[in-house]
Structure 1
Amino acid sequence: MEWMREIDGYCERLDPGYWAEPINAVTNAGFLIAAFIMWRRVRGQGLPLAMALVAILALIGVGSYLFHTHARVWAAIVDVVPIGLFILVYFYGVNRDFLGLSLWPALGLTVLFLPYAVITAPLFQLVPGLGGSAAYAPVPLLILIFAVFLRPRAPDTARGMTLGAVILIGSITLRALDGPFCEVSPMGTHFLWHILNAIMLGWMIEVYRRHMRPEGRGVATT
């Protein structure tokens, strides 16, 4: 693998310099801000998985910053690995704590996300204009599927997940529009992907926190 190969994939980048994407780089602070806010909300509540998600959220900000400043293959890997880790850890939490599965079934269902993404991502690539952002599209779809299953037993949690999916759909749309908007704005739209993603990921941790708190489960009553 060409670890040091330069990557020019965003509207804002016009040269290989460190600060060639200043807006894309700086807006990664949103992930750190969201992580700090959620750390304050989940600390001391006995939610180790939520704390792990907070730590991964901070790593997403660091990894994305490194990618948008160095813009090389190694930095791209540092960028996407925390994102993938957040997805897997969160869906494990959904399987274990939202659906009530035991350890091994929860892990098994989480691992199935990988073939699910491999199968569905090419289908999303058929959507005109989605391009490379199609790789992220299976995520909001799966969130919505989980929300449907959770609605009878935990309607508040289902609504929270639905809101998160809607925000992510908007975020993915803005990511896909980065190239087409180059002629309109030299900044593109990728920085808005960062901002909305920071909000969405922080919100999804909050959804988990509320579900795990007795007063925030949103369990339907009869």
Structure 2
Amino acid sequence: MDWFEHFDGYCERTDFTYWSEPLNALTNASFIIAAILMWTRVSHLFWGRVLCVVLFAIGVGSYLFHTHATAWAALADVAPIGIFILVYLFVVNRHMVGWPLWAALIGTLGFAPFAAGVTLALDPVPFFGISNFYWSVPILLLAYAAIYRRQMPATARGFVIGAAILSLSITLRSLDMPLCDVFPVGTHIFWHILNGVMLAWMIEVYRRHTVEAPRPNA
């Protein structure tokens, strides 16, 4: 792979200069602000602060991708997102649901085949195939909410809210290129803004769970 190969996959980008995506680049402040705000709220939670660090890294990585638009920057963009998903899923399995460590680890690693299945299933579906991988996250959140709605209703509602915000965010991400002619700056900026809100909210759901429904592993 050529790590310096350029990618042009967004409506806002018109060439490969550094500031060809100014709005896409600058709206990554949403992740940075969210990470800083949540850092103080989860000062008592080790995993909460780990999530904040990864959230900060998402903002940095996405900024690099929307300025450099290269293969190495693409990796810097997607890697922290994947890490956040896996860390949060482990936190849910181990510290919120209360699974044994071995089960929490297996459940976390199980996200890979689950996401692969969703990605393959949605790939040929019009519109949904654009952001096929990302749809695996709201689907999983809704599944957990349904399974644990009686055991931890407040947390389950938090999952549903997170899934709703993310579904809207993914929809706007998917509309970026289709609406390019009528909205030249693109809708990817709303993906950044809403995801900053959504990821901060998911950390808040974890924090509230430890306060309102503490478990032995919390």
Shorter-chain TM range is: over 0.9
Q: Pairwise mapping of residues 200-211 of structure 1 onto structure 2 (< 5 A)?
A: 200-211=198-209
The answer for the alignment partner of 2:85 in structure 1 is 87
The answer for the alignment partner of 2:21 in structure 1 is 21
Indicate which of 211, 214, 217 corresponds to 2:213: 217
> How big is the shift at 1:131?
3.3
Distance in 2 between residues matched to 1:101 and 1:22, nearest whole Å: 44
Amino acid of the structure 2 residue aligned with 1:66: L
Task: Verify the 8 A CA contact 1:63 1:75 in the aligned structure 2.
Answer: yes
The answer for the alignment partner of 1:50 in structure 2 is 48
SS in structure 2 at match of 1:87: helix
Q: Pairwise mapping of residues 183-198 of structure 1 onto structure 2 (< 5 A)?
A: 183-198=181-196
Relative to the length of structure 2, the TM-score reads 0.96
The answer for the alignment partner of 1:118 in structure 2 is 116
Large movers: runs of 4+ above 6 Å: none
Distance in 2 between residues matched to 1:95 and 1:218, nearest whole Å: 14
Q: Which runs of 5+ in 2 are unaligned?
A: none
Distance in 2 between residues matched to 1:100 and 1:218, nearest whole Å: 10
Distance in 1 between residues matched to 2:145 and 2:214, nearest whole Å: 13
Q: Pairwise mapping of residues 76-155 of structure 1 onto structure 2 (< 5 A)?
A: 76-155=74-153
Distance in 2 between residues matched to 1:218 and 1:189, nearest whole Å: 39
The answer for the alignment partner of 2:6 in structure 1 is 6
> How big is the shift at 1:130?
2.7
Q: Which has the higher helix share?
A: 1
> How big is the shift at 1:218?
9.1
Amino acid of the structure 1 residue aligned with 2:53: A
Task: Verify the 8 A CA contact 1:98 1:150 in the aligned structure 2.
Answer: no
Task: Verify the 8 A CA contact 1:56 1:82 in the aligned structure 2.
Answer: yes
Relative to the length of structure 1, the TM-score reads 0.94
SS in structure 2 at match of 1:131: coil
Distance in 1 between residues matched to 2:122 and 2:168, nearest whole Å: 15
Q: Which runs of 5+ in 1 are unaligned?
A: none
